[in-house]
Structure 1
Amino acid sequence: MPIQALPTALANAPPEQQRTMLGKALYPLVDQLEHDAAAKVTCMLLEMDQML
């Protein structure tokens, strides 16, 4: 999914699918910067939303 379509897709998705969609969009971006820890960093980013 193109990154430009993500906000609309998230708005239309049920809450239980939103986290998965965000993870799938974030992981390739994080992987480019921090390959060895991409899964951990992506998970940490997704958990930040739950802290607020």
Structure 2
Amino acid sequence: MKKTIDQLLGGAPLTGRTLAVRVDFNVPLSDGQITDTIRVDRSLPTLERLC
């Protein structure tokens, strides 16, 4: 079962902490442009929660 970021952190406050996040979007490209943003779009809530 997948856990939410809050479940993984156990409610620990993030303010004043430094986090390292590795994201491998591996998105499809055509002529240097992203052709499908679904992987980026689905990651945004997690990244926003960590900011």
Q: What is the TM-score of this pair, normalised by structure 1?
A: 0.32
Please identify the structure whose Cα radius of gyration is greater: 2
Higher strand share: 2
Higher helix share: 1
